[in-house]
Amino acid sequence: MSLMDKLFILFGGICGLLAIASMIGLALSRSTTSETGRATVDNLNARIGAWWVMVAIFAVSFGLGRGATVLLFALTSFYTLREFVSLTPTRAADHLPLVGAFYLLLPLQYWLVWIDWYALFTILIPVYGFLLLPSLAALRGDTGQFLLRVSRIQWGLMLTVFCISHAPALITLDIAGYEGQEFLLLFFLITVAQFSDVMQYVFGKLMGWTKVAPAVSPSKTVEGLVGGGLSAVLAGAGLWWITPFTPLEAAAMALAIVAMGFLGGLALSAVKRSMGVKDWGTMISGHGGVLDRMDSLSFAAPVFFHLTRYFYT
Partner 1 sequence: MIETLLIALTRFLVGGQARWTGAGPEPRQRIYFANHASHLDTLLIWSALPRPLRASTHPIAAADYWGSGNIRRHIALKVLNAVLVERSAKGPPGAALAPLRGVLSEGGSLILFPEGTRGSERLPGPFKSGLYWLAQDFPDAELIPTYLDNPSRAFPKGAFLPVPISCTVRFGAPLARRQGEEKDEFLERARQAVSALASDAIA
Contact 284, 292 (CB under 8 A): yes
Closer residue to partner 1 (CB): 82 or 293? 82
Is 151 a residue that touches partner 1 (CB under 8 A)? Answer: no
Stretch that binds partner 1, among 52-60, 85-93, 253-261, 292-300 (CB under 8 A): 85-93
Among 22, 32, 40, 90, which residue interacts with partner 1 (rule: CB under 8 A)? 90
Among 207, 242, 232, residue whose Cα is nearest residue 221: 207
Q: Which of residues 271-290 bind partner 1 (CB under 8 A)?
A: 275-276, 281-282
CB of 89 to partner 1, least distance (A): 5
Nearer to partner 1, 95 or 306 (CB): 95
Is residue 89 within the footprint of partner 1 (CB under 8 A)? yes
- The verdict on 292 binding partner 1 (CB under 8 A) reads no
Residue 309: C-alpha distances to residues 120, 141, 143, 244, 305 (Å): 16, 43, 41, 12, 6
Nearer to partner 1 among residue 81 and residue 186 (C-beta): 81
> Is there binding between residue 293 and partner 1 (CB under 8 A)?
no
In angstroms, rounded to a whole number, what is the distance separating the alpha carbons of residues 302 and 309? Answer: 10
Closer of 21 and 81 to partner 1 (Cβ): 81
Sign of CA dihedral 108, 113, 116, 120: positive
Q: Which is nearer to partner 1, 80 or 172 (CB)?
A: 80
Stretch that binds partner 1, among 4-12, 95-103, 185-193, 300-308 (CB under 8 A): 95-103
How many chain residues touch partner 1 (CB under 8 A)? 20
Phi (first) and psi of residue 215, to 5 degrees = -70, -25
Category of 157 on φ-ψ map: left (φ > 0), alpha (ψ -120 to 50) or beta: alpha
Answer yes or no: are the C-beta atoms of 129 and 141 closer than 8 Å.
Answer: no
Q: Which residue type occupies 93?
A: A
Q: What is the dihedral of CA 291, 296, 297, 299, to 10 degrees?
A: 110
Instruction: Give yes or no for residue 83 binding partner 1 (CB under 8 A).
Output: yes
CA gap 188, 200 in Å, rounded: 18
Q: Interface with partner 1 includes 102 (CB under 8 A)?
A: yes
Residues 6+ apart with CB under 8 A from 219: 201, 204, 208
Q: How far is the CB of 109 from partner 1 (least distance, A)?
A: 16
* Contact positions vs partner 1 (CB under 8 A): 78, 81-83, 85-90, 92, 95, 98-99, 102-103, 275-276, 281-282
